[in-house]
Amino acid sequence: MTAFQPPRGNAPGPQLEGRVALVFGAGSAGDGWGNGKASAVAYARAGARVVAVDVDGDAAAVTRDIIRGEGLEAISVAADVTRLADVQQAVGQALAAFGRIDVLHNNVGITSQGGPIETTEDTWDRVMTVNAKSMFLTCKCVLPVMLEQGSGAIVNIGALGGVRWTGYAYCAYAASKGAVNSFTQSVALQYAAQGIRANCILPGVMDTPHIYSQISGFYASPDDMVAARNKLSPTGRMGDGWDVANAAVFLASDQARYINGVELLVDGGLHARCN
């Protein structure tokens, strides 16, 4: 009898065995699981060696230690993703430690309240720099490595708020996340024939530490915020960092080898609702 042969590209077992994942924004804004922290740990559990980068070196080290605590491999790097020199240094440390970069995961994003009247020019510039220019800088430094390898997968974290009004007046955030989508598509198409893919994940309303520090100001209290965001989701509850992380592992893996330039909504269906 012929042994069972799994379909090509659908091999069982760890999806990222032998790969190296460089995660910018791998810490978390507080205790618990942010999207970037969960993604870094999920990449490691899928077989990747992980470089956890964060402007908050302690937060990056927490993620690193969780991964090492599970007997898996990771290093941490303190770097500000808005500074080219810092990004270059992080890429250099990744290559020195592990010799290659297979996955570039851009998680860093900040939120600011306000429409054009309330938003200051400085806030607009800051949000665009942290959320959008950062991805230009990381791609600028990592793409030459991936081109040399002839392979790579880029996962950029956008937001449902970049393509829909989700009830929040945050024009700078929405515009910056829209830029993430078009930037990703541009990179995806330019390098598609050279073994490099780039995709976005667009989370909807997620229950991460980030919302308690950056979104709660929209509500009377954190409890009100949680209740309102659960109600907003068609599923009756917010998603969490693991929902983003599981999507990220899939997009980074060979199982998504023919998926390029997409905006994957991880939002419980919220994008399709019109009431």
Ligand X SMILES: NC(=O)c1ccc[n+]([C@@H]2O[C@H](COP(=O)([O-])OP(=O)(O)OC[C@H]3O[C@@H](n4cnc5c(N)ncnc54)[C@H](O)[C@@H]3O)[C@@H](O)[C@H]2O)c1
Contacting positions for ligand X (CB under 6 A): 24-25, 27-29, 34-36, 54-56, 59, 80-82, 107-109, 130, 157, 159, 203, 205-206, 208-211
Closest CA to 39 of 123, 140, 108: 108
Residue nearest to ligand X (CB): 109
Task: Please identify, using beta-carbon distances, which residue of 36 and 152 lies nearer to ligand X.
Answer: 36
CB nearer to ligand X: give 74 or 81.
Answer: 81
Q: Based on the number of CB atoms within 10 Å of its own CB, is 150 exposed (0-12), middle (13-18) or buried (19 or more)?
A: exposed
Rounded to the nearest whole angstrom, what is the least distance from the CB of residue 75 to ligand X in the complex? Answer: 15
Question: At residue 224, what are phi and psi to the nearest 5 degrees?
Answer: -60, -40
Residue 88 CA, chain-centre distance (Å), reads 19
Cα separation values, 245 from 36, 39, 84, 233, Å: 8, 4, 26, 19
- State in angstroms the smallest separation of the CB of 152 from ligand X: 20
| Nearest distance in Å: CB 83, ligand X | 8
Using the minimum distance from each CB to ligand X, give the nearer residue, 17 or 224.
Answer: 224
Annotated active-site residue in 43, 170, 173, 191? 173
Q: Any idea how long the chain is?
A: 275
Residue 173 annotated as catalytic: yes
Backbone Cα Rg of the chain = 18
Amino acid at 37: K
Q: Which amino acid is at 107?
A: N
CB of 255 to ligand X, least distance (A): 23
Nearer to ligand X, 14 or 83 (CB): 83
Distance CA(211)–CA(226), nearest Å, equals 9
Q: How many CA atoms lie within 13 A of 57 on its CB side?
A: 5
Kindly list the catalytic residues: 173
